[in-house]
Amino acid sequence: MSIDRREFLKTLGVAGASLSGASALGKSKPEPDQEEFYAILHDITLCEGCQECEFACAAANNLPEPTDYPDSEVKRKLKPDQYSVINAVETSVGEVYTKQQCMHCAQPACASACLTQAMKKQKEGPVTWTEGKCMGCRYCMVSCPFDVPQFEFDDNNPKIGKCQMCFDKLKEGEVPACVGNCPAEALTFGKRSEILAEAHRRILEDPDSYVDHVYGEYEAGGTSWLNISPVPFEELGFKTDLETKPYPELTKGFLYSVPSVFVLWPALLMGLREATKKDDKEVMEGADHE
Amino acid sequence: MSESAMTDTYERPTSTWKFLLSELKPRGNPWTIFNMISVPTVIVAVVIIVIRFIYGLSAVSNVTQTVPWGLWKGFNVVTGVAFAGGAYVLTFMVYILGLEKYKPLVRVTVLNGFLAYTFYAIALILDLGKPWNIINPIIGNSFGTSSILFLVAWHFMLYIVAQLIEFSPTVAEWLGSERARRNLKRLTIGAVVFGITLSTLHQSGLGALFLMAKGKIHPLWYSDFIPTLFFISSIFAGLSMVIFQGSILQKVFAYQLDKNSDANHNIMIRGLSRVCAIAMFVYFFLKIVDSVHNHTLGYLMTPMGVWYMIEMIGFVLIPMLLFVRGVRLGTPFTIKLASIMTLIGIVLNRMNVSVIAYRWDEIPRYIPTWMEIVVTVSILFIQIWIFRWVLHRMPVLRTMESMTATSQTQ
């Protein structure tokens, strides 16, 4: 989230000097940092639905082991104590397996929504949640276009449950638990630019096995989790009506107008007051109640 | 000046401490119908709140992972703030535009606004998962400055202070401190200007909260202009509340009001009705332009479209026409009816954006539990208790002179 905040603060300064400059700044520039984020590719053609990633995820995050299995009849959902789920989907090319978890957006809606910075985009790529900062307002849940953050409604000291891309492992130079434990090598971890190139390479080399769409390249302005699939993503139940610009952009216009209102309104109001007063004596009385 | 009022007869104690103690005592008959309903309800609500803090939100509330904000946020916070908009509109009219004739409404409206905001903050705390961390966005160890909610929270807090300053001269009069009153009075204009600015931003900010929920809110309610729509509708929501509340106060507190009060009140609500009608016209027009622009008119024939038309025609267009009619004919009844319908329309709109049309496609739907409703209603009841307590004791509807009837020269 550091990018967004920096941009916003910069604008706060600029807005004071030139109020009309706001719209020009509203356009998103390519983020130099973004290419350095880590990313993970899920190749749906390789996934066998074995759930090893789920078990590894549960072990890495001290969560209970999953007790149910992928079944095309049932849609398994993320839970406060399950950060990653594999679903079986019956498609035109037979049964395939999808993996759902936090997409780790480049510019996450949840982090820009969070008023305490409990949700934070780390420069390594993961979107993390810090318990000590969270108020439990659940605005991240309202904002997340993928409905990822899960709240412990049945706890008196509730946590938000979501994939942190094994941020602790990342800092030690290890790969996330799910990636490290995938026997089918359906998951690939690396710098986002390399992972994205790898995804496109696979599609180019074998165009019959894939649809030409890297899910996460542009969705929600680009994510650190990418998917490639043998069938259109609609068929898999992925959300395909998402914005291609980052979600925080939706609130930028409003945020930019705030400093302007703060400067203009009081001046306007005092001016109006002066303009409408009859003469000094009346106003002196007018300022008094009764 | 009213001579018959029961409070006119009491002897004002000399020490402030004794005075405060005497003021704390309830007055009048405690066995009213309102009390017999509200007291047990609030007791049940206290039990529910205790359960909520021991076993978590799901023990009392139906909110889900996909619809994380329920009745407490949607009604008590999002709707309630719109209803409390009367304070900034009236202070704008009286202190900025110098429309002195509305002055008798200012104190009671600001008091109502102050109490409303305070209790909505309490409702918010009940809904927070970790309310003890509410200190985080305040003390500066973790400012989420890119968050709309951060702005709204700060504007909320600052506006409560601004309203307290606007109301403080009344408290000073009640405590009999002329010097404090004069000093606090000097702050009024500053607080009013600051308060109007803050209100503009947080009324629209509450709408801006939902900008990132694009795709989750039904297209008939989602708009890039939600902030503007929320702001404009807060004008007529607030004024309708002033009209509605005024019609009740005229009856309940008749003993405090003089003979001309009814006639004066009718003149004032006619003026406010005009403002309402114009604001509602602008709102309705903007909604239509927005729907055409976003090509959402095609949804009108769906079930959600019918629900949308009930809101827009039944509770915006019709009350707008009723306001116009009430102003033309000078009939207070039409105006009061219009204000009630407008208030229902605002409840529908705010609940639609935040709860009903939010994930409208999700099954099963969120329906509040009876416990959520009891707490929601209890928050209003406690607010009314305090409101009533203040009105009976402080010079809000009447002047200090008429309260003490005898000496009290100023």
Residues A87, A165, single domain; the answer is yes
- CB contacts of A290 in chain B (<8 Å) are 103, 395, 399
Residues A66, A204, single domain; the answer is yes
Residues A87, A185, single domain; the answer is yes
Measure CB to CB from residue A135 to each of B54, B107, B136 and give the nearest one. Answer: B136
Which three-class secondary structure string do you get for B329-357?
A: HCCHHHHHHHHHHHHHHHHHHHHHHHHHC
SS3 B160: helix
- Quote the CA–CA distance of B183 and B179 in Å, as a whole number: 6
The whole-angstrom distance between B324's CA and the closest CA on chain A is 26
Look up residue A223 and give its DSSP letter: B
Tokens coding B42: 């609030």
| C-beta atoms of A266 and B65 within 8 A | no
Residues A9, A148, single domain; the answer is no
| C-beta atoms of B69 and A142 within 8 A | yes
Tokens coding B406: 């005898």
B228: Cβ contacts below 8 Å, ≥ 6 apart: B204, B207, B286
A261: Cβ contacts below 8 Å, ≥ 6 apart: B197, B200, B201
- CB contacts of B196 in chain A (<8 Å) are 265, 269
Q: How many CA atoms lie within 13 A of B311 on its CB side?
A: 24
Contact indicator for B387, B115 with CB cutoff of 8 Å: yes
Note the pTM of the prediction, 2 decimals. 0.88
| C-beta atoms of A276 and B96 within 8 A | yes
Contact indicator for B206, B230 with CB cutoff of 8 Å: yes
Measure CB to CB from residue B208 to each of A154, A243, A251 and give the nearest one. Answer: A251
| C-beta atoms of A261 and B201 within 8 A | yes
Contact indicator for B70, B355 with CB cutoff of 8 Å: yes
Residue of A nearest to B123 (CA): A137
- Quote the CA–CA distance of B270 and B276 in Å, as a whole number: 10
A21, pLDDT greater than 70? no
The sign of the dihedral angle between the CA atoms of B353, B357, B363, B368 is positive
SS3 B266: helix
Contact indicator for B112, B84 with CB cutoff of 8 Å: yes
- Quote the CA–CA distance of A175 and A165 in Å, as a whole number: 9
Measure CB to CB from residue A266 to each of B197, B214, B216 and give the nearest one. Answer: B197
pLDDT of residue A285: 52
Q: What are the backbone dihedrals phi and psi of residue B357, each rounded to the nearest 5 degrees, phi first?
A: -85, 0
Closest CA to B169 of B194, B200, B193, B191: B191
- CB contacts of B224 in chain A (<8 Å) are 250, 253
- Quote the CA–CA distance of B308 and B357 in Å, as a whole number: 10
Give tens-digit pLDDT for A29-51: 445 444 479 999 999 999 999 99
pLDDT of residue A5: 52
Residues A87, A216, single domain; the answer is yes
Look up residue B201 and give its DSSP letter: H
pLDDT of residue A150: 96
CA angle B133, B137, B140 (to 5 degrees): 115
Measure CB to CB from residue B142 to each of A116, A243, A261 and give the nearest one. Answer: A116
- Quote the CA–CA distance of A219 and A227 in Å, as a whole number: 11
pLDDT of residue B10: 52
Interface test with A, best of B53, B60, B65, B396 (most A CBs within 10 A): B65
> Dihedral angle at the C-alpha atoms of B205, B211, B212, B215, nearest 10 degrees?
150
Residues A129, A258, single domain; the answer is no
> Dihedral angle at the C-alpha atoms of B91, B96, B100, B104, nearest 10 degrees?
10
The whole-angstrom distance between A98's CA and the closest CA on chain B is 20
Could you tell me what percent of chain A has a pLDDT over 90?
Answer: 81
- CB contacts of A285 in chain B (<8 Å) are none
Give tens-digit pLDDT for A214-229: 999 999 999 999 999 9
* Per-domain residue ranges of chain B: 231-364
Q: What's the Cα-to-Cα distance from B93 to each of B85, B233, B235, rounded to whole Å?
A: 13, 17, 12
Pairing of strands A85-91, A38-43: unpaired
> Dihedral angle at the C-alpha atoms of B326, B328, B331, B335, nearest 10 degrees?
20
SS3 A40: strand
- Quote the CA–CA distance of B231 and B233 in Å, as a whole number: 6
| C-beta atoms of A135 and B131 within 8 A | yes
Tokens coding B39: 């007291």
Residues A215, A265, single domain; the answer is no
**Residue with tokens 């930019």, as numbered in its chain:** A256
Give tens-digit pLDDT for B28-81: 778 888 999 999 999 999 999 999 999 999 999 999 999 999 999 999 999 999
Interface test with B, best of A77, A78, A134, A139 (most B CBs within 10 A): A139
Contact indicator for A105, A250 with CB cutoff of 8 Å: no
The whole-angstrom distance between A153's CA and the closest CA on chain B is 5
Residue B66 corresponds to which amino acid?
A: T
Interface test with B, best of A11, A83, A107, A116 (most B CBs within 10 A): A116
- Quote the CA–CA distance of B224 and B410 in Å, as a whole number: 53
- Quote the CA–CA distance of A127 and A120 in Å, as a whole number: 5
Residues A176, A257, single domain; the answer is no
The whole-angstrom distance between B35's CA and the closest CA on chain A is 32
> Would you say the ipTM is above 0.90?
no
Buried b (16+ CB within 10 A) or exposed e, A186-218: bbbbbebeebbebbbebbeeeeeebeebbbbbe
Residue B179 corresponds to which amino acid?
A: R
| C-beta atoms of B142 and A133 within 8 A | yes
| C-beta atoms of B212 and A137 within 8 A | no
- CB contacts of A115 in chain B (<8 Å) are 137, 144, 147, 149-150, 153
- Quote the CA–CA distance of A109 and B319 in Å, as a whole number: 38
Residue of A nearest to B214 (CA): A145
Residues A143, A3, single domain; the answer is no
- Quote the CA–CA distance of B49 and B244 in Å, as a whole number: 30
- Quote the CA–CA distance of B25 and B252 in Å, as a whole number: 20
pLDDT of residue A184: 93
pLDDT of residue B404: 65
pLDDT of residue B268: 93
Measure CB to CB from residue A265 to each of B100, B131, B200 and give the nearest one. Answer: B200
Q: What are the backbone dihedrals phi and psi of residue A85, each rounded to the nearest 5 degrees, phi first?
A: -130, 140
Tokens coding A137: 């307002």
Of A230, A245, A260, the domain-final residue: A245
Residues A172, A228, single domain; the answer is yes
Pairing of strands A119-121, A127-129: antiparallel
Measure CB to CB from residue A138 to each of B53, B69, B107 and give the nearest one. Answer: B69
**Residue with tokens 């820009």, as numbered in its chain:** A112
- Quote the CA–CA distance of B164 and B371 in Å, as a whole number: 32
- Quote the CA–CA distance of A88 and A97 in Å, as a whole number: 5
Measure CB to CB from residue A112 to each of B61, B147, B200 and give the nearest one. Answer: B147
In B208-296, DSSP assigns E strands to none
| C-beta atoms of A114 and B144 within 8 A | yes
- Give chain A's domain count: 2
Beta pairing partners, A91: A94
Which residues of chain B are under the pLDDT cut of 50?
1-9, 406-410
Residues A23, A75, single domain; the answer is no
Tokens coding B355: 């709860």
Max CA pair span of chain B: 71
Distance of CA A77 to the CA centre of its chain: 18
| C-beta atoms of B133 and A136 within 8 A | yes
Task: Give the A:B interface size as CB pairs under 8 Å.
Answer: 190
Residue of A nearest to B182 (CA): A288
The whole-angstrom distance between B223's CA and the closest CA on chain A is 11
| C-beta atoms of A288 and B56 within 8 A | no
Residues A116, A82, single domain; the answer is yes
Range of the domain at A253: 1-28+249-290
Contact indicator for B231, B197 with CB cutoff of 8 Å: no
Look up residue A219 and give its DSSP letter: G
pLDDT of residue A26: 43
Contact indicator for A126, A104 with CB cutoff of 8 Å: yes
- CB contacts of B227 in chain A (<8 Å) are 254
SS3 A202: helix
Helices and strands, counts by H and E, chain B: 17, 0
| C-beta atoms of A156 and B56 within 8 A | yes
